Amino acid sequence: MKKITFILVMLVTALSLSAVNLNVVGSMNGWNNNDAGYLMTEIGTTGIYTLEKTLAAGSYEFKVVYSNTWNGASGDNRKFVLSEQKAVKFYAKDNSGTVLFFSDAQELYVIGATVGGWDATNMKLMTNTTTDATYTADVVAGTYKIVSKDINNNIVWNDITPADQTVGGTGNFTIKLDFATFAASATANAPVDPSLTGLSDSYIFVGSDPESATWYNANATYQAESFHGKNLGSVTTPVYIGGEIKTTPILDGVTVKFFYELEDVATSTKLGVNEVNIPWSVNDGDKSKWKSTAGTNVFTGASLVKGNAYKLNVWFNATDGTATLWDSNNSANYVATFTYDVGTNNLENENIGHRVYVQSGLIRAEFEGMAVVELYSITGQQLKSVQVNNEFSETVRPGVYVLRINDKSHKVIVK
């Protein structure tokens, strides 16, 4: 009997240690953080705590904290307004040192891609009952959160659903928050067509030759290095970029793109957004892989200054015509830096549509369409004459050369 008694005592002690003491504090109790009358009670062993109080009509501010401290709640005070005397229920959950909390008297909102966007103008007010809050409307596939506002009307992002929630299709849905469990759900009110719901596993390649370029992580982790924050160093030849990303689920009619923009570091001058379609590559499980390997020269059309530092911003999106998803590093883009050290001979005569540069002992030229290309030594000896389409390359020894493209001459120095 003594052994059994000892075990029971240990169990009771362990259970008591797993609980936390949470107090509602606010204008209704003089901000007393150890008010026994406002101590919350756990709902069974769910980890959810509740307190019900009948309050007079008026405006209230409140938080939930660990008892006898001011720890747990983050941000400014929350608020609610009662037009008449009413029983108000407060709910809270311990989330690894941060208290998630709200009351059934607060105004709660749905916000996110599924209801039009993540800014305050797209917030949708939910309808509260004594047990839950709901919002029913036509929505698109995508992500959302359930949020409230603080006393300054700022959005409180993490009190209720710290993680993004998902609507898996486009159509009429009821989005619901169950007060007693903090559980959010999205239920279709009629059959819905599958829609784009996920964008993942993005990579970026960078190099002067797409076939031998280096692949970097964007939001994925397979490659050795991350593109974001990478210093590409001194760049002496044109830089080509491409990308790879996956969409969920497998759907017809999806368009995937990556975008890039150069920005002068010293002046913060942005040189314009460019977009590139990424072709479909293969279906992989429940995802489609999209991959661009042709490479896009990021210097095309850009007027860069030798010796200046630049940022290379890259981001992705995908759309099925209804839902549009972005992989933009939380709107910060994936950003690498480099110093532009391409010589004046490498990109001269852009105004006539020719790009001539030197790369590892090669004289290379890019142009549109068919052209007659002639290569001469500096003494006037013709070394090569060909008719080619879009590009030309020739390995030469160090020296000074003249390259003629459709009778337009370029002086080229090979070191």
Q: Is the confidence at residue 351, as pLDDT, over 80?
A: no
Q: Which residue has the higher pLDDT, 394 or 9?
A: 394
Average pLDDT, the chain: 88
Q: What value, to the nearest 5°, has the Cα angle with vertex 76 and ends 75 and 80?
A: 125
In-domain check, residue 6: no
In-domain check, residue 345: no
Q: Are residues 45 and 126 in the same domain?
A: no
Q: Are residues 370 and 280 in the same domain?
A: no
Q: Give the pLDDT mean for 176-182.
A: 97
In-domain check, residue 382: yes
Q: Are residues 210 and 184 in the same domain?
A: no
Q: Are residues 74 and 147 in the same domain?
A: no
Q: Is the confidence at residue 25, as pLDDT, over 90?
A: yes
In-domain check, residue 7: no
Q: Give the pLDDT mean for 94-106.
A: 94
pLDDT of residue 410: 84
Cα separation, 304 vs 212, whole angstroms = 25
> Can you give the C-alpha Rg of the chain in angstroms?
31
- Domain boundary among the residues 103, 124, 148 is at 103
pLDDT of residue 9: 42
Q: Is the confidence at residue 55, as pLDDT, over 90?
A: yes
pLDDT of residue 360: 76
Q: Give the pLDDT mean for 61-81.
A: 95
pLDDT in tens, 395-409: 998 888 888 888 788
Binned at pLDDT 50, 70 and 90, residue 15 comes out as very low
Backbone angles phi, psi at 212, to 5 degrees: -120, 15
Binned at pLDDT 50, 70 and 90, residue 210 comes out as low
Whether 87 and 49 have beta carbons less than 8 Å apart is answered as no
260 membership: H or E segment, kind and range = strand 255-264
Q: Give the pLDDT mean for 166-189.
A: 93
Q: Please give the torsion angle defined by the CA atoms of residues 25, 26, 32 and 34, in that order, rounded to the nearest 10 degrees.
A: -10
Q: Is the confidence at residue 323, as pLDDT, over 90?
A: no
Q: Are residues 148 and 176 in the same domain?
A: yes
pLDDT of residue 18: 53
Q: Is the confidence at residue 347, as pLDDT, over 60?
A: no
Q: Are residues 323 and 356 in the same domain?
A: no
Model-level pTM?
0.52
Q: How many domains does the chain have?
A: 4
Q: Give the pLDDT mean for 239-267.
A: 94
Q: Are residues 290 and 320 in the same domain?
A: yes
Q: Are residues 333 and 217 in the same domain?
A: yes
CATH of the domain at 299: 2.60.40
In-domain check, residue 297: yes
- Domain boundary among the residues 340, 365, 399 is at 340
Cα separation, 133 vs 177, whole angstroms = 5
Q: Give the pLDDT mean for 353-379.
A: 83
Q: What value, to the nearest 5°, has the Cα angle with vertex 161 and ends 121 and 138?
A: 50
In-domain check, residue 182: yes
Q: Are residues 208 and 335 in the same domain?
A: yes
Binned at pLDDT 50, 70 and 90, residue 389 comes out as confident
- Domain boundary among the residues 103, 132, 151 is at 103
CATH of the domain at 401: 2.60.40.3080
Q: Give the pLDDT mean for 55-66.
A: 97
Cα separation, 106 vs 51, whole angstroms = 15
Q: Write the CA distances from 287 to 169, 389, 405, 412, integer angstroms.
A: 16, 37, 46, 48
Q: Are residues 79 and 122 in the same domain?
A: no
Q: Is the confidence at residue 16, as pLDDT, over 70?
A: no
Q: Are residues 247 and 312 in the same domain?
A: yes
pLDDT in tens, 120-131: 999 999 999 999
CATH of the domain at 68: 2.60.40.10
Contacts of 330 (CB under 8 A, 6+ apart): none
List the domain range (segments joined by +) for residue 367. 350-414
In-domain check, residue 10: no
Q: Are residues 335 and 218 in the same domain?
A: yes
Percentage of the chain lying above the pLDDT 90 cut: 61
In-domain check, residue 258: yes
Q: Give the pLDDT mean for 325-346.
A: 84
